[in-house]
Structure 1
Amino acid sequence: MAGLIASLPSIPYPPEQDGWFSPVTATLDWCEENYVVTQYSAEIINTLTNVLFMYLAVKGIRNCLKNGHDTVFLVAFIGYLLVGTGSFLFHATLKYPMQLVDELSMIYTTCLMNFATFSYGKSRQYSTMLAIGLISLALFITLYYHYLQDPTFHQNAYAILTAIVLLRAMYVMEVNIRPQFRSREREAAKPRPHGGAKGVQEQEDVRDKAILGTMWKMIAFGLSIFLGGFAVWHLDNVYCSQLITWRRQVGMPWGFVLEGHGWWHLMTGTGAYYYIVWGVWLRHCLNYRQDEYELVWPNIWTMPEVVKRRGAMGNGRVNGSVKKEL
């Protein structure tokens, strides 16, 4: 394989050099060599891979506006767009202010998703106190991170916030949708347009179990991509010198494939998009609107989205989701 790659036409890597935005002021400088492709972008692969973030964010924003999803998810997608844009500018310039835009927008968007998850079904007083607490936490992380300028602190804070919101959302999903776990209060609050007939209830239980099955497949797929991105990011940091050697041996553009941080952008961007879409669908299910909205996810090669149903079940739609060809 190495011989085959070496025989392909390639362009030698030039030496690392200064560029348009020199000098570097960020506290992080990733494994991609600086200004080897163009003087107008310090890390061109790490820069351009953020286009996926921005595309998926715009896709999510348009979907929220078109289908009337809760405002909190519209704001989440706007935050997701800010993450991608900030990362684009950070890797293009390697300037400290752009680093803060990139990294802190990740914290703010995750805090917003924590609010969406923990405030559902709670009183206005509880939601207000939760909002104040999360804003205070985000402010503390901002100021303390700026004081420390230690990337490890940001990475740990982001990982903890992400794990908390993910586990909480899984718990909320199970105890509110799975029939055997639903509380009496949850059952009593359910709209009964058909008079609560036993046959109707059984059909709804079958529908909800099918929805849960699809949700868990969606979670597993999105989480696998997200954690896979973390693994590639770690390997990129640990074996950076070896990766640079291999890139220079195979030349451009083949060496671009070995840019691990670029793969981190593509994989975590996709995983984060899956999580927000799952949150949108979960919120509609919690609001007993399973028959009004459906998840459109034909197969694993397409990006899922939640849309208003256009008609009765049919044309490949089963129990609130489109059949998947996995």
Structure 2
Amino acid sequence: MVELLSRLPSIPYPPEQEGWWSPITSTIDWCEENYVVTQYSAEIINTLTNLLFMYLAAKGIRNCLKHGHDTVFLVAFIGYLLVGSGNPMQLVDELSMIYTTCLMNFATFSYGKSRQYSTLLAIALVSLALFITLYYHYLQDPSFHQNAYAILTVIVLLRAMYVMEVNIRPKFRSKEREIANPRPHGGVKKVQVKEDLRDQEILRTMWKMIAFGLSIFLGGFAIWSLDNEHCSTLRRWRREIGMPWGFVLEGHGWWHIMTGIGAYFYIVWGVWLRHCLNYRQDEYELLWPNMWTMPEVVKRGGSSTNQGTNGSMKKEL
């Protein structure tokens, strides 16, 4: 493949040089060579792929404001925006990932709990975020940040899956959950059957979202790991191929694109799950026509759609 691409018309990579933001002060210097395209951006592909974060964050913020989703998700999308806009300041970029994940932990673990519990949880998560910030600043070891982020992400993901299953899947729902349903309870067996079918369809769509988002996130992580492990080989290949074809081998850029999409899917899933937990499945719907579009949760009747009433994924006609 490298030999084939090297035969295409291309622009040779210039040598690394000093640039506008020199000297390098970040804890990690990624595999992308510095200032080879422009002196105003040390890693141009790293910078440009962060624009996806900013676009999806703007999409999520607008959706939260327009459709009245819980404030915690609005703040989560603002944190997601900081991940993208923090590229010139690596510490801001990395710590924003921690803060956003802590927010999602709060959204997941505080649902249905008392004000006292939620307050204590908020204090604990703020304290944890502060500890990670100060210790990472002192340690300057990227592996500490990566491990902390991975642990927080796994915890919130597993908890959200558990909450989804035990509260929405009909066979797992508790009697307390059934009683809390605001629909009328007199002679409603047919209504119950209809709601159960609706919820089962919603769960199928949610698991599709989880599988797709998690797969693309882990795929991005795998590419990023290969980028770190085989950096010298990738740099040699990129120079053999030349620009712009060599940009395809920028693993950190693919990490931004794929993890950005995966994280966006997770937040949208969290928004949809919260509405379902609040028995608002008939007020809101998930718009996700196909795998190649970005999902969003909207109020029913808020926009034209060919979406089914159960919020399931359907292809556009």
Give the TM-score, by structure 1 length. Answer: 0.94
SS in 2 for 1:290: coil
The answer for the alignment partner of 1:115 in structure 2 is 106
State the Cα distance separating 1:193 from its structure 2 match.
3.4
| 1:233-248 pair list within 5 angstroms | 233-248=224-239
**Using the alignment, how far apart are the partners of 1:269 and 1:75 within structure 2?**
16
Query: Cα distance, 1:322 vs. partner?
Result: 4.3
Which of 123, 132, 150 is the equivalent residue of 1:132? 123
Tell me, yes or no, if the aligned pair for 1:194 and 1:200 is still in contact at 8 Å.
no
Deviations 1:195-250 (A, max 9, x none): 35100000000000000000000100000000001000000000000000000000
| 2:287 aligned to which of 284, 292, 296 | 296
Please state whether the residue corresponding to 2:286 is helix, strand or coil: strand
Which residue number in structure 2 is paired with residue 92 of structure 1? Answer: none
- Any residues of structure 2 matched to 1:1-326 within 5 Å, and which? 1-87=1-87, 89=88, 98-193=89-184, 195=186, 197-310=188-301, 315-324=306-315
Looking at structure 2, the residues matched to 162 and 47 of structure 1 have their Cα atoms a distance apart, in angstroms, of 24
Residues 291 and 309, structure 1, Cα contact 8 Å, conserved in 2:
yes
CA deviation vs aligned residue, 1:47-80 (integer Å, no higher than 9, x gap) = 1100000000000000000111011000000010
User: 5+ unaligned residues in a row in structure 2: which ranges?
Assistant: none
Following superposition, the deviation at residue 3 of structure 1 comes to: 4.0
Are the structure 2 counterparts of residues 71 and 196 from structure 1 closer, same or farther at C-alpha, using a change threshold of 3 Å? Answer: farther
The letter of the residue matching 1:37 is V
Instruction: Give the direction of change, closer, same or farther, for the CA distance of 1:28–1:3 in structure 2 (3 Å limit).
Output: closer
Query: Following the alignment from structure 1 to structure 2, what is the Cα–Cα distance between the partners of residues 317 and 43?
Result: 44
Specify the code of the residue in structure 2 equivalent to 1:268.
T
The answer (yes or no) to whether the contact 1:73–1:280 under 8 Å persists in 2 is yes
- Contact 2:288 2:295 survives alignment (8 Å): yes
Distance in 1, matches of 2:23 and 2:307, equals 56
CA contact (8 A) 2:290 2:313 kept: no
Measured in 2, the distance between the counterparts of 1:168 and 1:237 equals 31
Gap change, CA 1:277 and 1:316, over 3 Å in 2: closer
Percent identity at matched positions? 83
1:201/1:37 Cα in 2 relative to 1: closer, same or farther (>3 Å)?
same
CA distance in 1, matches of 2:260, 2:186: 44
In 2: Cα distance, 1:2 partner to 1:278 partner: 39
1:294 counterpart SS class: strand
Q: Structure 1 residues 245, 3: closer, same or farther in 2, change over 3 A?
A: closer
Greater Cα offset, 99-108 or 48-57: 99-108
Q: CA deviation at 1:315?
A: 4.1
SS at match of 2:297: strand
Q: Report the residue type matching 2:289 in the other structure.
A: P
Contact 1:294–1:322 (CA<8 Å) still a contact in 2? no
Residues 297, 196 of structure 1: CA spacing in aligned structure 2 closer, same or farther, 3 A cutoff? farther
Aligned length: 314
Quote the RMSD (CA, aligned, Å): 1.3
Do the aligned residues in 1 keep the contact of 2:217 with 2:262 (CA within 8 Å)? yes
What is the rounded CA distance, in whole Å, between the counterparts of 1:199 and 1:118 in structure 2?
A: 33
Q: Once superposed, which parts of structure 1, at least 4 consecutive aligned residues long, lie more than 6 Å away?
A: none
Q: Is the 8 A contact 2:287 2:311 kept in 1?
A: no
Aligned counterparts of 2:187 and 2:67: Cα–Cα separation in 1: 28
Cα distance change on mapping 1:54 and 1:253 into 2, 3 Å: same
Answer yes or no: is the 8 Å Cα contact 2:289–2:307 preserved in 1. no
